Amino acid sequence: MGDNSGTREETVAIHCLEGEAEAEAEAEERDPESNPLNEPLLKRNRTLSTNPLALVGAKVSYIESLDYEINENDLFKHDWRSRSKVQVLQYIFCKWSLAFLVGLLTGLIATLINLAIENIAGYKILAVVGFIEEDRYLAGFLYFTGINFLLTFGASLLCVCFAPTAAGPGIPEIKAYLNGVDTPDMYGARTLIVKIVGSIGAVAAGLDLGKEGPLVHIGACIASLLGQGGTEKHRIKWRWLRYFNNDRDRRDLITCGASSGVCAAFRAPVGGVLFSLEEVATWWRSALLWRTFFSTAVVAVVLRAFIEVCNSGKCGLFGTGGLVMFDVSSVTVRYHVMDIIPVVIIGILGGLLGSLYNYLLHKVLRVYSLINQNGKMHKLLLSLSVALFTSVCQYCIPFLSTCVPCATSLPEDVCPTNGRSGNFKQFNCPSGHYNELATLLLTTNDDAVRNIFSTNTPHEYHSSSLLIFFALYCILGLITFGIAVPSGLFLPIILMGSGYGRLLGLWMGPHTKIDQGLFAVLGAASLMAGSMRMTVSVCVIFLELTNNLLLLPITMIVLLIAKTVGDSFNPSIYEIILHLKGLPFLDANPEPWMRNLTVGELVDVKPPVITLNGIEKVARIVEVLKNTTHNGFPVVDEAGETSTGVAKLHGLILRAHLVGALKKKWFLKEKRRTEEWEVREKFTWVDLADREVNIEEVAVTREEMELFVDLHPFTNMTPFTVLESISVAKAMVLFRQLALRHMLVLPNYQAPGQSPVIGILTRQDLLAHNILTVFPHLEKT
């Protein structure tokens, strides 16, 4: 596909439930590179099949790789030599300024989202409580269900019709982007707006999903738009922004945005940095660590400022709650040696239930993909069906609970209450009593977590209520994720984990000194580690959430056990989603059987590589560009042009630079090498950063076809190369760690008359699935 230089890639549409044979047959009909230029001289029986198509949101899109590698051609070297100290300071100042703006805007938008959700959901619940106090239960049910239906309808309609990529959490796509995959249409202004509005509607509707995942995506969208000066159609042509017109700096900004989103969701600045380091970022360095930390610090300051304002009552119903902070700093955490037993049990349960949740969610998403393939109306109906089911459960199930008298030790103004916040909900109970299930279900998601995390309340909930709560949110967590609304996985997993954690604490109360609320915290942490397989970042996030450092030892033990148990069964939930979407993600560790295959054997089953001469004819360049979709071509100096009399590899030239040379009419009447000053008069490094020009937009006359182009000034003279004898496993590790898009394969010995490059490897070629389609016997070795 687009990244493969000089090779034909048979495009295969990724359909989650369709057979391989049908997918390959459909792909061959749409092969964009079926042309004589790419046909090998000898017909081969095996051709490496790749997967450049993926389901992103609701669309099947071509997947490209990103150019993270520095293109060291003559113009780039001259630019770096000629940069003054002022320009270097401008570049550094811009990087820190953009990091500040990413944190500032993410914090402001996160506050806006929280204000809107808390007020919409709060007034909705107050209205329902008013109906219940008047014994108008049917009217309360219709009002509650109708409001949730309308909120879900608005959120889903926006995602289905205007921005399909805004559905879901967005974290898998960010993870793929930072791995080098150009996930299309993920960071545009339309996606950002729909993500914000859709998150408000979906969370306020009471669906079992959180705003944490969407906030990560929102932070990434803000960073991307700031880095490129706006949308693709409407960009700010500010002179300083020209420094960021490359994939490397955009990658760093999106990493800052993802960290800021986590910080905005949990008020955990250190946890946000560690989340990016552990989960989403593939490449990391100390300079990036400082900038991400700076961005999250700005977010924390913004959130803290708004909390002070809202505590004075100026934010409507957004008062002491709102921004998630489960403060248990006043609780004295006491545990002894025997408490290690329940801690280990929670860790094992978290690993088992997390892997089971991943397995079942994978099956549900495959079924949803069948439904979504039927069109927009089916996506909308699926979302509305889930919303109706959720509303019915949240309103009707509390009627199954018996009324519990308030504890005599509690003040009269604490229990019961029918207000928006608080640990006790009266619902349909008489004065002096409260409804356990209403306390957990008929409230906002954040308040539900606060209630079940509540400490020093050993008799607040009974085991039957906790069992119903846990079972219901397991069902809702499975059926809600995957519908066409912005959704996050953090909150559903926290609710499920806290349910069985508190239940275990209730059963083991006589045998341990650990508070039931802390059991709920440990249960939530264990399920997150068992499903998402994150340890360090989750540990720090929960410490920042609970504001209690005494939880550190037992939290670490729980997370390590849960992750170890979960890894024994299946991958993390984000890896499963990446696989379902067909995104060509390169894992950190190659498969063991990859050591039994060399890159020479890999390129041997591919069609011959297309090379260009150092001084090439215009007609040849146009032919190559129009008949292939490759983004890189090896440039070779012919034997007659070198002092040794042997053809020599000069480097690698990108498609964008070839198109730029044709657009600028960089033509020569005779076949000769140009001087450095000639190129600088015609081109600047800013011209080479432009990647939007298409070959179809360039007009070349018949007379110009006979002219020549000197490709040497545009060629990256330091491409990464490997010998044909290197193993695929080693090549994959190098490819991933160096953030490459192309890797040239050279012969061990170049015979006279032989080309200095025998093949080229791209991301698609190194995917385990694609290799096994050609070498199926390797999996058994």
Instruction: Tell me: pLDDT of 188 over 70.
Output: yes
Strand partners, 760: 744
d(CA 67, CA 53) in angstroms, rounded, equals 19
Instruction: Tell me: pLDDT of 53 over 50.
Output: no
Where does residue 351 fall: left (phi above 0), alpha (psi -120 to 50 degrees), or beta otherwise? alpha
N- to C-terminal Cα separation, the chain: 29
Structure confidence at residue 337 (pLDDT) = 74
d(CA 562, CA 526) in angstroms, rounded, equals 6
Cα R_g (the chain), whole angstroms: 29
* CATH fold group of domain 592-780: CBS-domain (3.10.580)
What average pLDDT does range 233-237 have in this prediction?
62
The confidence band for 102, taking pLDDT boundaries of 50, 70 and 90, is very high
d(CA 387, CA 390) in angstroms, rounded, equals 5
Q: Residue 691 class from Cβ within 10 Å (0-12 exposed, 13-18 middle, 19+ buried)?
A: middle
Structure tokens at 70: 């520095």
Closest CA to 513 of 453, 454, 452, 458: 458
Counts for the chain of helices (H) and strands (E), in that order: 27, 16
Q: What is the pLDDT of residues 202-222, one digit of tens each?
A: 999 999 998 889 999 999 999
Contact 272, 263 (CB under 8 A): yes
Q: Residue 759 class from Cβ within 10 Å (0-12 exposed, 13-18 middle, 19+ buried)?
A: buried
Where does residue 332 fall: left (phi above 0), alpha (psi -120 to 50 degrees), or beta otherwise? beta
CATH 1.10.3080.10 for domain 337-389+444-581: yes
d(CA 235, CA 313) in angstroms, rounded, equals 40
Phi and psi of 404, rounded to 5°? -115, 130
Strand partners, 50: 11
Where does residue 739 fall: left (phi above 0), alpha (psi -120 to 50 degrees), or beta otherwise? left
Instruction: Tell me: pLDDT of 61 over 70.
Output: no
Residue 106 CA from chain centroid, whole number: 17
Q: Give the helix ranges, DSSP H, for 162-285.
A: 171-179, 189-204, 212-227, 247-266, 269-275
- What are the residues whose beta carbons fall under 8 Å from the beta carbon of 775, sequence distance 6 or more? 597
d(CA 133, CA 330) in angstroms, rounded, equals 35
Handedness of CA 227, 230, 234, 240 (dihedral sign): negative
- Identity of residue 752: P
Instruction: Tell me: pLDDT of 31 over 50.
Output: no
d(CA 661, CA 652) in angstroms, rounded, equals 15
Asked if the domains 84-311 and 337-389+444-581 are classified in one and the same CATH topology, the answer is: yes
Strand ranges, E, within 348-497: 403-405, 433-435
Structure confidence at residue 644 (pLDDT) = 67
Domain extents in the chain: 84-311, 337-389+444-581, 592-780
Counting residues of the chain whose pLDDT is more than 90, the rounded percentage is 44
More confident residue, 78 or 373: 373
Handedness of CA 487, 493, 496, 499 (dihedral sign): negative
Q: What is the pLDDT of residues 744-756, one digit of tens each?
A: 999 998 887 788 9
Angle at 736 between CA 734 and CA 740, to 5 degrees: 85
DSSP secondary structure, 284-325, as one string: --HHHHHHHHHHHHHHHHHHHHHHHHHHTT-STT-SSSSS--
Instruction: Tell me: pLDDT of 50 over 50.
Output: no
Contact 215, 262 (CB under 8 A): yes
Instruction: Tell me: pLDDT of 51 over 50.
Output: no
Q: Is 598 helix (H, G, I), strand (E, B) or coil?
A: strand
Highest mean pLDDT among 17-26, 185-194, 421-430, 502-511: 185-194
d(CA 536, CA 273) in angstroms, rounded, equals 11
Q: What is the pLDDT of residues 386-420, one digit of tens each?
A: 999 999 999 999 998 888 888 665 555 556 555 44
For the chain, the residue count is: 781
Lowest-confidence pick of 142-151, 318-327, 424-433, 574-583: 318-327
The confidence band for 310, taking pLDDT boundaries of 50, 70 and 90, is confident
d(CA 136, CA 117) in angstroms, rounded, equals 26
The confidence band for 693, taking pLDDT boundaries of 50, 70 and 90, is low
Closest CA to 211 of 491, 529, 476, 537: 491
Instruction: Tell me: pLDDT of 236 over 90.
Output: no
Contact 437, 403 (CB under 8 A): no
Q: How many CB atoms lie within 10 A of CB 91?
A: 15
Q: What is the pLDDT of residues 433-451, one digit of tens each?
A: 888 888 888 888 878 888 8
The confidence band for 466, taking pLDDT boundaries of 50, 70 and 90, is very high
Structure confidence at residue 533 (pLDDT) = 93
Instruction: Tell me: pLDDT of 643 over 70.
Output: no
For tokens 């519990």, name the residue.
404
Q: How many CB atoms lie within 10 A of CB 408?
A: 5
The confidence band for 367, taking pLDDT boundaries of 50, 70 and 90, is very high
Counting residues of the chain whose pLDDT is more than 70, the rounded percentage is 83
Structure confidence at residue 182 (pLDDT) = 86
CATH 3.40.190.10 for domain 84-311: no
Highest mean pLDDT among 91-100, 421-430, 675-684, 686-695: 91-100
Structure confidence at residue 52 (pLDDT) = 40
Closest CA to 527 of 559, 479, 550: 559
Structure confidence at residue 622 (pLDDT) = 92
Tell whether pTM > 0.85.
yes
DSSP secondary structure, 120-177, as one string: HHHHHHHHHHHHHHTT-HHHHHHHHHHHHHHHHHHHHHHHHHT-GGGSB--HHHHHHH
Strand partners, 49: 10
Closest CA to 632 of 606, 594, 659: 659
Instruction: Tell me: pLDDT of 30 over 60.
Output: no
Structure tokens at 263: 């910080």
More confident residue, 332 or 290: 290
Cis peptide preceding 416, ω within 30 of 0: yes
